[in-house]
Amino acid sequence: MKEFMLLIRNDADSKSSFSPERNEEFLNACKVYIEELIKNGNLVSAQPLVREGKMISGSKGAWKDGPYNESKEVIAGYYHILANNLDEAIEIAKGNPEFAYTETARIEVRPIKMREESTSFVYPKG
């Protein structure tokens, strides 16, 4: 199996209008999704991200930091999954509850590079 990162992107306020009951419903749907990924042997890890932080840029001696988000969209969390190929990873991503509960969700599906071809360097895991 190959490793993929699912980066969950959504408007920062995509769930701000949820009632407490709707929010609980969404969180339960996420729990069911995660449990299904575990049962099928696809989940390595998954975490939501806190909506605050800093974006750093520059180089040694000339660092800048500012708000991490200057647009409406944020990376709300990630799923590190196992799949046979990109198509399977995309199918797994399509089942994410973000799509059922908001209209602004996008999921970036990216293969994880495990090794540098030119140097044979293997990136550490865990």
Q: Sign of torsion, CA 73 76 82 88?
A: negative
Distance CA 85, CA 38 (A): 18
Mean pLDDT of all residues belonging to the chain: 91
pTM for this entry: 0.86
Q: So what's the pLDDT on residue 69?
A: 56
Residue of 12 and 31 predicted with greater confidence: 31
Distance CA 46, CA 27 (A): 13
Q: So what's the pLDDT on residue 105?
A: 95
Who's near 65: CB < 8 A, 6+ residues apart? 54, 55, 56, 57
Residues pairing with 10 in the sheet: 74
Query: Quick one: tokens of 36?
Result: 């299904």
Place of tokens 């407490």: 20
Mean pLDDT of 98-117: 95
Q: So what's the pLDDT on residue 52?
A: 77
Mean pLDDT of 29-49: 97
